[in-house]
Each structure stands twice: as structure tokens, then as C-alpha cells.
Structure 1
Amino acid sequence: MIISLCGFMGAGKSTVGKYLAQMLRYDFIDLDQYIEQKYNMTINAFFAQKGEEAFRLEERDSLLEIVEKYYGKENLILALGGGTVTREACASIVREKTYGLYLYCSKDELVRRLKRRRESRPLLKDKSDEELAEYVQGLMDAREEAYRSSSKCVISTQNGQLASVIDTILAEVEFES
């Protein structure tokens, strides 16, 4: 079984994914980290050197590699990139081959979380608080439908309590051991 986690940056995909995988004894892969290791460069460097279109093609290819390795064979929690399911090629893989969960968080909570980690995110570090809020709202508006249509259920990470989020996931999904 492959459980995929989609949602906006800061929603908790990697944190929830790692913990859930450890708890269930599933493998865990963060798609962005997978690509970074494959190319020995950060996602930001990949974007800068090769452009977004090349990144999105590699993202699709890496998603296919992972799914081909795990589908029907091994259990996996897969944290997707924030924009992965915005491309239909990836969204269809997620819908057809994984049990998709959309980790949802409000704009205000995302902005609060992202402010604390702004320096580690080059696209955000030079934005004022107001610009950050506008940026987050714009991306949320653009991506919301893709997140929802790629997922079987929506899990709120709003309260930031990892145990509560995990309990909700365990109640929603019938996991294979």
C-alpha cells in the first residue's frame, strides 16, 4: 500500500509522513528529497539550473520510479512536493496508484509556520509578512482543487498536534501491515 501525502508547504507532509511510517513500520520517501539525492542538488538549485518544466518532468519520472518499486509489493508513506499534483500526469498516478491524503491547514496557520522557517526557503525569505500572506493565499487558491481531487480524504493539521493528526489518519485509513 502506498499512502501519499499532498498539501501546501508547511502543512506537515514530511513530519507526519516520517512519524506515520515509523509507527506503521512502512518505508518513508519524501519526493523532493528523493530528487535532491538523485541529482545531488537542492530543488532550488535544480529550478535555477534547469527550470520548472524540467523539474516537473523529473518529478513525474521520480514519482513513477517510486510507484513502480512499491505498488503492490511494499508499504510506503510518500510525502509529495507542494506542487506535485498540480500536473495531471502526476495527479493521475497519485489517484490511481496511491491512497491520497490531503493535509490541510488554513492560510493563517501556514503563514505562521512559514514565518518561522522563512530563511530556509529561498522563495520566501525576502517577502514581508503581508507579501508572504498574499503569496500563500494565491498558491492555495491555485492548488486547492488539485489537492482535493487527488486525495481520498482531507486531514486537518491545523492544531499542529502530531498525535491528533496521526489518530485522525489511523481512523480514516484501513492500513495494511
Structure 2
Amino acid sequence: MIVVLIGYMASGKSTIGRQLASKLGFSFIDLDSYIEEQELLSISDIFNKKGEIYFRKKESEYLNEIINGEQNNIVLSLGGGTPCYADNIALLLNDKSILTIYLKVGLDEIVNRLGNEKYKRPLVAHIETREDLKDFIRKHLFERSLYYEQSNIKIHTDHNSAKEVVEKIILQLY
């Protein structure tokens, strides 16, 4: 089985993914880290040097590589945009060995989390004010929720620790 964590940036996919993989005895793969290892560049550098179109094409290629690889029993955390491009959501939903989980975080919580680390995020690094950041995220969530909401399982994570979210997921799995 491959458990795929989907959600907006700063929704906790990597943190929760690591803990969930450990609890399940699965391997953990963070797609963004995997891309950085394969491309020998940070995600920010890929965006800056090669552009978003190049990044999205590579993102889809590497997602396919992981899903169609030999390894099983994986928790895979995706980038926030991964399900929204290159028909990636269909790839995930049409494979019976894949379970998708949407980590659903409220707008204010995402703004709070991103406010502290936006310089690491190429899509929001240029946004200067909190209100502009909130407007950007609101628009993005509206566009992306169509894809996120197709997930097999939806977990609301606001006001929950990573450990509590992992416990919620495990209760849904068994």
C-alpha cells in the first residue's frame, strides 16, 4: 500500500508523514525532497532557474517513478500543487494500491504557519503583507480544493498536534 498525503503548503504533510510512516512501519518519501535529490537543486532554485513549468513536469515524472517503482508500504507526502497538475490526481485515485489522505487546514492556520517560513516557499516568498498572503492562499485553496477534496480520506487538522493527526489517520485506516 502507498499512503499519499495531500494538502496545501504548510499543512504538515512532511511532519505527519514521517510520524505516520514510523507508526505503520512504512518507508517515508517526501516528494519535494526526492525532486531536490534527483535534480541536485532546491525547489526554490528549480523555480528560479528553470521555471514552474519545468518543475511541474519533473514533479509528475518523479511521482510516477515512485508509484510505479518496486517499493511498497510507503507514506508519500506531496507538494501542495502536485495533485493539481498533469492529471496527477487521476493517477493517484485510479490505483487501488494507493490511499489518498487530504490534510485539511483552515485558512488562518495556514497563514500563521506560512508567515514564519514563506521565504522557503517559492510561490509565496514575494508576498509582503499578511493580508496579501491571506488573499493569495484563499484564492489558491479555492482553485485547489477541487483536487484535494477528491481524496479517499479527509482529516481536519486545525488545533491538533502532529501526533493527534497521526492517531486520527490510523483510526481511519483500521
TM over 0.5: yes
CA RMSD in angstroms comes to: 1.4
- SS of structure 2 residue aligned to 1:74: coil
Aligned-partner residue type, residue 130 of structure 1:
E
Runs of 4+ residues over 6 Å off in structure 1: none
Aligned to 2:135: 134
The 2-side partners of 1:117 and 1:130 are apart by 16
CA distance in 2, matches of 1:84, 1:125: 19
| Identical positions, percent | 34
Greater share of helix residues, 1 or 2? 1
Q: Normalization by structure 1: what TM-score?
A: 0.91
Cα deviation, 1:87-119, whole Å, max 9, x if unaligned, reads: 252111111231000000000111011112223
* Pair 1:47 & 2:47 matched: yes
CA distance in 2, matches of 1:105, 1:44: 23
Corresponding residue of 1:89: 87
Give 1:55 shift. 1.4
Deviation at 1:120, TM superposition (A): 2.6
SS at match of 1:160: coil
Amino acid aligned to 2:4? S
TM-score normalised by length of structure 2 = 0.92
Give the match for residue 117 of structure 1: 117
The reply to whether residue 66 of structure 1 matches residue 101 of structure 2 is: no
Checking the alignment, whether the CA contact within 8 Å between 2:155 and 2:169 is kept in structure 1 is yes
Q: For the residues of structure 2 that align with 1:172 and 1:123, how far apart are their CA atoms?
A: 32
Deviates more, 1:97-106 or 1:40-49: 40-49
